[in-house]
Amino acid sequence: MLEDKKLLDVRNLHTGFRIKDDYYDAVDDVSITLDKNEILAIVGESGCGKSTLAMTIMGLQDPNYTKITGDIIYNDLNLVGLSETLYNKIRGNDIGMIFQDPLSALNPLMKIGDQIAEALFYHTDMSEDERNKRAVELLDLVGIVNPERVAGQFPHELSGGMRQRVIIAIAISCKPPIIIADEPTTALDVTIQAQILDLLNELQKETEAGIILITHDLGVVAETADRVAVMYGGQIVEEATAEELFNNPQHPYTRSLLNSIPQEDAHDADLHVIEGVVPSLKNMTRTGCRFAERIPWIAESEHEENPQLHEIAPGHLVRCTCYKHFHFREEGEA
């Protein structure tokens, strides 16, 4: 894509959490870009670093317990090391965030309309009447029935789906060019999930915003994303367009994730389970292929000592050479 379409450029980003006297990277040398009018999905299991990446971009990590290095470039400004005062001007106005748990993200003591109007108070010169009117318009925009009444209610009076819509209304209130959606459909039933995803698609087309969609649900990715970055152990292990990734997955982790999706035409087949678990920060191997322990039937010699991202096709990147040798474990294979 053209350079002038680039909204965000993350380069060699490290986010380390302090455990006793040492720091352990939950985001380890991650480089991604986000373009205007694009939905970039970041996928992986819980503990792979997806939400940590999102919170780092938003500048919401506690500096007392984290160490952040690398670059997050927005509008020629490096957000890493930016003062809290300057970051407050960017949050909401330039980068909006849809949080994973709307109940904990909303203030239980403030009415819904006031919470939406608060963002407008900090980032616009609207009068109080204009802010309140705009709050109702935003509730209507995100598909809430009787927005005037809902504006006067408290979060506990709303359903999970309605609260999620309120969070989206807050995130888009200032029409930010970048929206980060962290598991926006978690804990919602299938019907509401579909409505929320449709809403995000509509808003993205209307505003031409770039959206970073954090999710573990590959079904969501298939429906919405333009490009996909797969994370494992704090690293990007594969990146490609959504079409390329689903049609030609290469990294063993990506292939394992896709193989774990239940198939409609395989009623009697056993569901594929990825062996092992995502290692903890402290116990994670920092040398060699981080997925190697979960595919022990692949010889150690078929992994790189220091796995790099290889461009195997235009825009299709894969980490480690083990993708060339990977196969699913056969019955009786050690």
Quote the CA–CA distance of 36 and 2 in Å, as a whole number.
10
Domain annotation covers residue 103: no
Is the alpha carbon torsion for 33, 245, 326, 24 positive or negative? positive
Domain annotation covers residue 292: yes
Quote the CA–CA distance of 187 and 177 in Å, as a whole number.
27
The CATH number linked to 257 is 3.40.50.300
Domain annotation covers residue 127: no
Domain annotation covers residue 168: no
What three-state secondary structure class fits 316? strand
What pLDDT does 135 receive? Answer: 97
Domain annotation covers residue 241: yes
What pLDDT does 2 receive? Answer: 42
Q: Which alpha helices (DSSP H) does 156-315 contain, by range? A: 160-172, 190-207, 218-224, 242-247, 252-259
Exposed e or buried b per residue across 53-80, where buried means at least 16 C-beta atoms within 10 angstroms of its C-beta: bbbbbbbebeeeebebebebbbeeeebb
What pLDDT does 264 receive? Answer: 63
What three-state secondary structure class fits 162? helix
What pLDDT does 1 receive? Answer: 40
Domain annotation covers residue 160: no
Residue 64 phi, psi (nearest 5): -75, -20
Domain annotation covers residue 64: yes
Domain annotation covers residue 231: yes
Specify burial of residue 31 (Cβ count, 10 A radius: 0-12, 13-18, 19+): middle
What tokens does 196 get? 């929320």
Domain of 280 in residue numbering reads as: 6-36+49-82+217-331
Counted domains in the chain? 1
Query: Mean pLDDT in runs of 10 for the chain (334 residues)?
Result: 76 96 96 96 95 96 95 96 93 92 91 96 95 96 94 95 93 94 83 84 85 91 94 97 97 94 65 88 91 95 96 97 93 69
Quote the CA–CA distance of 39 and 180 in Å, as a whole number.
10
What pLDDT does 206 receive? Answer: 82
